[in-house]
Structure 1
Amino acid sequence: MSEPGETSGSGRDRLRELLDAVLEGADDGVPRTLTQMAGDAFTSPFHFNRLLSRGAGEPPVAMRRRVMLERAAWQLQRGGTVTDAAWAAGYESVEGFSRAYTKAFGHPPSTAAVSHWLPAPNGIHFHPPESLWVDSQEQVLSPLTEQLVMHDLDDTTALLGLAKGLPAEVVAGVRLPGHVVLEWDGPEESIGQVLEATVWSKECWVASIEGLSMPVRNRSDDVATLAERHEAVGARWLAVVRDIERRGAWEDRLIDALCEPPESFQIGSVIAHVLTYAAHRRLLARMMLRMAGVEVDRGDPIEWLRGRRGEVPSA
């Protein structure tokens, strides 16, 4: 078998065949599993995932999901309904489609996208009406930055999901009396306070980067409210980081007028600051959840990435 990107002795373009298997049936709106895609490429799911990830720099399930969302954005730009776009993209509900779209584009599907293209590590995009376009000059987040940002967002979502199942008194219960992570953020003595500070940090910094007024902090540790806040700010945070990468603005400086007095920050250091303390708080939340008798995983990005790619964990 030829390596991805190579042409075999029979003149076959193996990478093109793999891409065809990923996008097969994209116009019928029927979801396809990794096993189904691999079957069309006459290979096992493991090898299909490995070959395409190596040849195109993106796992097949993630690529199909992204290209389908790009097509949905194009359909919406042309006046299509959210319901029709959701069905055509293979989603079983408008709510699920709206969450995925908002996370990907940084705004809900009711707001028109400036471009229907999403960042792609391989420059492969949906090209209307039913084709692909390869942008050879595209610059996107480095794999490391993308993994750090997405792991933080997904892991916070998972922790909020665990906390949702707990009684309010357990969420608000003091686990570490007097504990403070950063003095300006206030006490973080409970599960609820730690999760709220995790969400608030992004809300605060996104407002600064976007040039908005300081948001009013809602210190409520109601987990349903926190989950809504995280979903909203998470999409904006991802869009902000991707825009910084696209513009190569890591060395730019932010004059933060929300501080008293105003301070100057290097953009790259701001992103590192948010990710560093988010990681610390996620581990802190895990410790508190265990103290409350809740079973929780390790939050290991290695295990997260394997799960995201559909890989079978090693023994």
Structure 2
Amino acid sequence: MSEPTTGRDRLRELLDAVLADGDGSGGTGLAAMADRAHSSPFHFSRRLSRDTGESPVALRRRVLLERAAWQIRQGSSVTDAAFEAGYRSVEGFIRAFGRAFGHPPGATTSGSPGWLPAPNGIHFHPPIHLWIESRPEERPAMDPLSLQVHHDIADTGRLIEAAAGLPEEAYRRVHSPGQTVLSWDGPEESVAAVLENLVRSKEMWCASIDGEDVPARGGDDPASLAGRHREIGPHWIATVDGIGRRGAWGDRLVDALCDPPESFVLGSVVAHVLTYAAHRRQLVRHMLRAAGVEADHGDPIEWLQDRHGGTS
């Protein structure tokens, strides 16, 4: 007999049922959501409303509007964003978007608010589907580890996007001959090398924690790195979250990928990844500026303010 589902896991299952099939192809009504959650519409709606403070339909509409705002900031057309959010007409989407954000979708800029007010801390957050804040009512006291982990993933994605605009020569140009962050990773003299190690380090540590073989090394061009980052980012977030849920920070990992195998405390592994990821992200910023590309500070305060519409 399987173990009973915990309240937290069951809530996540219900949220997955709410947000599944968000491409406008149908199956998004209350009955379809309840069916995916193996529940009756009445019990499904009552449980979600009780646990989140929002009806399933309202929660879905809000999160998909948040995703649409992000897609538009990334360059998507208003039409594409409208249909991916499940709207049957662009006009209906524009009206709903304007009521929610206070401006039409066409006026969305990089500085526009990304999240809408929510009673539950459940928001769309790239590259993963949802960010569920554990205690949204105490946002100023939010867990700094969670903030650092999510900020690292989001910031790395933004830097890869920025690097994609560089000519190939500038992307691979040597800025600091012999520059090495960690001796076993080799020289990191270019934007390409630093970004590759930002992604590669998480691929390697996730494989070690999961007990898997050394992962194949993918391409280091911006498009390939963006794809690798979309894969490993959610995996790394889930890994850190799992360690925290189990209270396993002091557990030891025997890393068979090292030669010879070494033992590491899991908490120190996460601290290691965050420390050198932050350093590498700033190295990339210096190189981008040297190549004439504007780069922000990479400040988690500014990032969080952007996510919350100007308040942290």
CA contact (8 A) 1:22 1:37 kept: no
Task: Determine the C-alpha separation between the residues in 2 that align with 1:30 and 1:168.
Answer: 36
Counterparts of 1:261 and 1:190, CA distance in 2: 30
Quick check: 2:64–2:124 contact (8 Å CA) kept in 1? no
Equivalent residue number for residue 143 of structure 2: 143
Instruction: Report the Cα distance in structure 2 between the residues aligned to 1:311 and 1:260, rounded to whole angstroms.
Output: 48
Task: Quote how far apart the aligned CAs of 1:217 are.
Answer: 2.6
Match of 2:212 in 1: 212
SS at match of 1:174: coil
- The change in CA–CA distance for 1:264 and 1:152 in structure 2 (over 3 A counts) is same
Aligned to 2:176: 176
Contact map agreement 1:178 1:189 (CA 8 A) in 2: yes
Q: Is residue 249 of structure 1 aligned with residue 248 of structure 2?
A: yes
Asked whether the 8 Å contact 2:206–2:235 carries over to 1, the reply is yes
**Is 1:36 matched up with 2:70?**
no
CA 1:119/1:180 → structure 2, altered by over 3 Å: closer, same or farther? same
Deviation digits for residues 100-159 of structure 1 (CA, Å, limit 9, x no counterpart)? 5xx248xxxxxxxxxxxx8551499xxxxxxxxxxxxxxxxx621111001000000000
Letter of the 2:143 counterpart:
P
Cα gap change, 1:290 to 1:233, in 2 (>3 Å): same
Question: What's the Cα RMSD here?
Answer: 3.4
Task: Go from structure 1 to structure 2 and tell me whether the alpha carbon gap of 1:187 and 1:37 turns closer, same or farther (over 3 Å shift).
Answer: closer
Tell me: CA distance 1:119–1:310, structure 2 relative to 1, closer, same or farther (3 Å): closer
Counterpart of 2:288 in structure 1 is 289
Conserved? CA contact 1:172–1:221, under 8 Å: no
Alpha-carbon distance, 1:289 to partner: 0.6
- Rounded to whole Å, the distance in 1 between the matches of 2:255 and 2:98 is 46
Which aligned pairs between 1:95-134 and structure 2 lie closer than 5 A? 103-104=128-129, 120-122=133-135
Report if aligned partners of 1:256, 1:263 keep a CA contact under 8 Å in 2.
Answer: yes
Q: Secondary structure at the match of 1:264?
A: strand
Deviation at 1:19, TM superposition (A): 3.6
One-letter code of the match for 2:236? Answer: W
Counterpart contact for 1:171–1:221, Cα < 8 Å: no
1:302 CA displacement = 0.4
TM-score by length of 1: 0.61
Alignment of 1:24 onto 2:23? no
Residues 185 and 26 (structure 1), Cα distance of their counterparts in 2 relative to 1, 3 Å cut: closer
Provide the rounded CA distance (Å) in 1 between the counterparts of 2:181 and 2:64. 47
Give the equivalent residue in structure 2 for 1:266: 265
- Structure 2, unaligned stretches of length 5 or more? 1-48, 66-95, 103-112
Give how far 1:215 is off.
Answer: 1.3
Secondary structure class of the residue paired with 1:175: coil
Can you list the C-alpha shifts for 1:243-282, whole angstroms capped at 9, x where unaligned?
A: 1111111111001111111111000000000010000000
Deviation of 1:309 after TM superposition, in Å, equals 1.0
Q: Secondary structure at the match of 2:254?
A: strand
Deviations 1:74-122 (A, max 9, x none): xxxxxxxxxxxxxxxxxxxxxxxxx75xx248xxxxxxxxxxxx85514
Identity %: 47
Aligned-pair distance for 1:186?
0.8
One-letter amino acid matched to 1:152: D
- Structure 1: 5+ residue stretches without partners: 1-14, 39-44, 67-98, 106-117, 125-141
Q: Following the alignment from structure 1 to structure 2, what is the Cα–Cα distance between the partners of residues 241 and 104?
A: 17
Q: Is residue 166 of structure 1 aligned with residue 166 of structure 2? A: yes
Secondary structure of 2:297's aligned partner: coil
Contact 1:255 1:264 in 2 (8 A): yes
